[in-house]
Amino acid sequence: MLDNTSSPTASRPSALPKLPKAPSGIEGLDEITEGGLPLGRPTLICGSAGCGKTLMGIEFLVRGIQDYNEPGVLMTFEESAAELAANVTSLGFDLPQLQAEKKLRIDQVHVDRSEIEETGEYDLEGLFIRLGHAIDSIGAKRVVLDTIEALFSGFPNEGVLRSEIRRLFRWLKDKGVTTVITAERGEGTLTRQGLEEYVSDCVILLDNRVIDQITTRRLRIVKYRGSTHGTNEYPYLIMESGISVLPVTSLQLNHEVSDTIVSSGIPALDEMFGRRGFYKGSSVLITGTAGTAKTTLAATFAAEICRTHGRCLFLAFEESPQQLVRNMQSVSINLAPYLENGQLLIEATRPTLNGLERHLVSIHKLIREFRPDAVVIDPISNLISVGNLSEVKSMLIRLIDFLKVNNITALFTSLISGRNIQQEMTEEGVSSLVDTWISVRDLEGIGERNRGISILKSRGMSHSNKVREFLVTEQGIHLLDVVIGPGGIVTGAGRLTQQLQEQAQLMAAQQELERKDRELERRRRVLEATIGNLRTEFESVEEELRQINHEEMARQQALTEGKAQFTQPLPLQRPNESQQN
């Protein structure tokens, strides 16, 4: 009977342990292997001559010693210890010093085929004893065998060969050391024998190819038992500091974002954005045909970054630093002070000097050393001369992601060719990847050519949809107000004609308004005069009525007084008085 009171999650198994891994310390390799090489297991690195197999094995040992305190053993079957030490000195690896510190053991094993033919016997027992002693003498955790072809060249019997290879790999696993074994590429197989890749727990294939006279190195993880991993081909470089693998699809879109606004250096252009500028850490693309002031816009942005106490890295693919500084002075953009105080760094090279991967690694190195707040690349369209469109796009994707992760504002310029300047895609195909896309174009009129600027997109903020004409003057870039005529926006001489017509219409309207004001004033005076006459007549009538009223009141008073006299009785006389009279 089932226990209904039990939790449904109680019967779920706990999370299974992941395969333990040993970080290689090689830049980019641990990212695509998701942690490093299989711990305590053999890894096969195979490839043709010149692809860096030995170097990758040595760097695996050196990084393990320096970064993870894991001593290592290098057993070589071709080069001596002195030759290996001299070969990697240019990369900053001091093998004799590591040997003196008892952290590295280099053992050269010489295999002579003639001696094998004389005795008729050959097995790996001596190798096991020798390698085991080297491992135990320094407590090694890492082992490199370079190269395995020399070791197995004395086995004519394929059955014996397969058995001995399996025995070697099993012995290495039993010792518990993380091992890197290098092997040469075979015809139609990964290795000469075609057996090592089947018994290895991890197989890394290195390739060195030449396409259109450009050398490119590629790395691919063929298999990795017990672990997921990147399955694409990844370009890698051998730099002054070692090997650098450049992963593509393993990058994660989980970087932080900023709400800080960065100005373009042109106030009128900033007003076309809802937030008055670009977001810090965003990517901005300026596209246009030749002569549309893309470089001037980029230099204005760089100068604004420096003016606000920031640092800017300017990568120029068409002009030297001196030429760029001189040309920008003609439009009042003075970059020289920022170069002198270290706020601005201009790196000018031809794209064909290096391959795309070399350019990308160089940019990464410059950014780590200079630590800029903004990066300007002018123009990215020149990179097409180094690789095809897909390779350029892949390189730019990695660069944009790297800049976003480091919260660095990026501004790219790109040349658009052809007559269709309204096209929605750039040749590099990065217009959909950037956050802000600004288009500069030629506005052709009757007998003249003008420049226009518009914002095609700006992620995260509103923006103007107008095409504004702008001028490149001795005081810099000046955006003109939009003038709309009967047929739409007008520029250049049409703008002047439209403005003159508007001024004439405004003057005529003003004159008509003044005429109406004068007519109104005349009517007002006539009305006031009429009102004055009516007031005078009214006063006369009022005075006459007042006089009549006064006379009537006087007559009435006199009549009243007369009536009073007539109605008053006469006084009586005494008799005596009358007689006396």
CATH number at residue 472: 3.40.50.300
Q: Is 239 exposed, middle or buried (0-12, 13-18, 19+ CB in 10 A)?
A: middle
Domain assignment present for 186? yes
**Stronger pLDDT, 537 or 117, i.e. the higher one:** 537
* 296 and 443 share one domain: yes
Model confidence at 421: pLDDT above 60: no
Q: Are 199 and 168 in contact (CB under 8 A)?
A: no
Q: Rg for the chain (alpha carbons), in Å?
A: 48
Does the pLDDT value for residue 81 go beyond 70?
yes
How much is the pLDDT for 532? Answer: 87
Same domain, 452 and 525: no
Model-wide pTM > 0.85: no
Q: Which domain holds residue 11?
A: 3-115+123-245
Tell me: do 54 and 135 sit in the same domain.
Answer: yes
Quick: pLDDT tens for 311-357: 999 999 889 999 999 999 999 999 999 999 999 999 988 877 777 77
Task: Tell me, yes or no, whether 150 and 284 share the same domain.
Answer: no
In a domain, 541, yes or no: no
pLDDT tens-place string over residues 392-409: 887 888 888 888 888 999
Residues 233 and 87 in one domain: yes
In a domain? residue 581: no
Coil vs helix vs strand at 217 = strand
Q: How far apart are CA 445 and CA 491, in angstroms?
A: 7
Q: Per the domain annotation, does 545 fall within a domain?
A: no
CA angle, 192 as apex, 188 and 193 as ends, to 5°?
A: 105
Residue 2 has pLDDT above 50, yes or no: no
115 pLDDT band, cuts 50/70/90, is very low
Domain co-membership, 70 together with 152: yes
Q: Per-residue confidence at 491, pLDDT binned at 50, 70, 90?
A: low
- Do 159 and 280 have their domain in common? no
Of 265-269, 325-329, 433-437, 560-564, least confident by mean pLDDT is 560-564
255 part of a folded domain:
no
Domain count, the chain: 3
Is 444 within the bounds of a domain? yes
Q: How far apart are CA 276 and CA 464, in angstroms?
A: 11
pLDDT above 70: residue 510: yes
Q: Which of 245, 273, 303 is the last residue of a domain?
A: 245
Average pLDDT rounded to a whole number, residues 12-33 = 80
Residues 227 and 287 in one domain: no
Question: What mean pLDDT do residues 179-196 have?
Answer: 76
Instruction: Clarify whether residues 35 and 103 are in a common domain.
Output: yes
Mean pLDDT of 97-123: 71
User: Whose CA is closest to 222, among 234, 205, 206?
Assistant: 205
Same domain assignment for residues 392 and 291: yes
> Is 537 among the domain residues?
no
Whether residue 358 is found in the same domain as residue 225: no
- 26: phi then psi, degrees, rounded to nearest 5: -85, 130
Q: Which of 185, 214, 245 is at the close of a domain? A: 245
What pLDDT is stored for residue 11 in this prediction? 45
Do 225 and 345 lie in one domain? The reply is: no
> Could you tell me if residue 571 is inside a domain?
no
Q: Please report, as a single letter, which amino acid is at residue 14.
A: S
Last residue of a domain, one of 212, 245, 278: 245
